[in-house]
Amino acid sequence: MSQHLEIEFKNLLIESEFDQLCNAFGITPNDFFLQENHYFDTETFALKNLHSALRIREKDGSYEMTLKQPSGQELLETNQIISKDEAATAFQSGKLPGGPIEAIIKQYGISFSDLSYFGSLKTERAEINFRQGLLVLDHSYYLNFEDFELEYEVENYEAGLKIFSELLKEHVIPMRITNNKIQRFYERKSSLQEDS
């Protein structure tokens, strides 16, 4: 198990802005790699209601289960490496592997057996080091929908916000209130359920 605080800034982009940033930073289609997030929650969205999220990320044939919890302006990420077989069981039956993440979720009063598999979100991602952080361009696909996003991961909130704001201004991209991927996934899932 590993834990770390995540400080990142996000901004949804339209496709032309995404292409503009790729050109500005010399990012080509070969610079993108694929990762897939698989999301879990209770039927009543108990984790979401606590501003937390649970996912299994599949990347380069490895699997990592991550619990994200709010911690001030940051997110506390707890990561647990799991096997391919454990991941397959989770996707097929919703049964998640035990360990440190289960112990934390139990502290919320949520039973691990109440968690269900909600679906997946695929992302084509490119990463580059930029000033004091990591600049990320994401093209995501989920529930017959796609979006484009810029992220900036940093160690220092104030310095990161200044750099991120300047970058958007330099490229004439408006700052947009941007939910994280799991929130966007759940909003899309909810709107599809309402339409059916």
- Comparing 57-61, 96-100, 104-108, the range with the smallest average pLDDT is 57-61
Asked, for residue 196, whether it belongs to a domain, the answer is no
Across the chain, mean pLDDT equals 93
pLDDT reported for residue 70: 87
Whether the predicted pLDDT of 195 surpasses 80: no
- What is the pLDDT at residue 129? 97
174 within a domain of the structure (yes/no): yes
How much of the chain exceeds pLDDT 70, in percent? Answer: 99
Confidence of residue 1 (pLDDT cuts 50, 70, 90): confident
Range of the domain at 22: 2-191
Does 48 fall in a domain? Answer: yes
Q: What is the CATH number of the domain that holds 115?
A: 2.40.320.10
pLDDT of residue 166: 97
pLDDT digits (tens, 9 = 90+) for 46-68: 998 998 999 999 988 899 999 99
> Considering the domain boundaries, does residue 85 fall inside one?
yes
Does residue 164 sit within a domain? yes
Q: Which of helix, strand or coil describes residue 177?
A: coil
Domain presence at residue 47: yes
As a whole number, mean pLDDT of residues 165-173 equals 98
For residue 49 the two structure tokens come to 């209601």
- Model confidence at 71, in pLDDT bands (50, 70, 90)? confident
Task: Choose between 70 and 23: higher pLDDT.
Answer: 23
Question: Which H/E stretch holds residue 6?
Answer: strand 2-13
How high is the pLDDT of residue 8? 93
Give me the pLDDT at residue 196, please.
65
Is there a domain that residue 86 lies in? yes
How many domains is the chain built from? 1
Domain-embedded: residue 11? yes
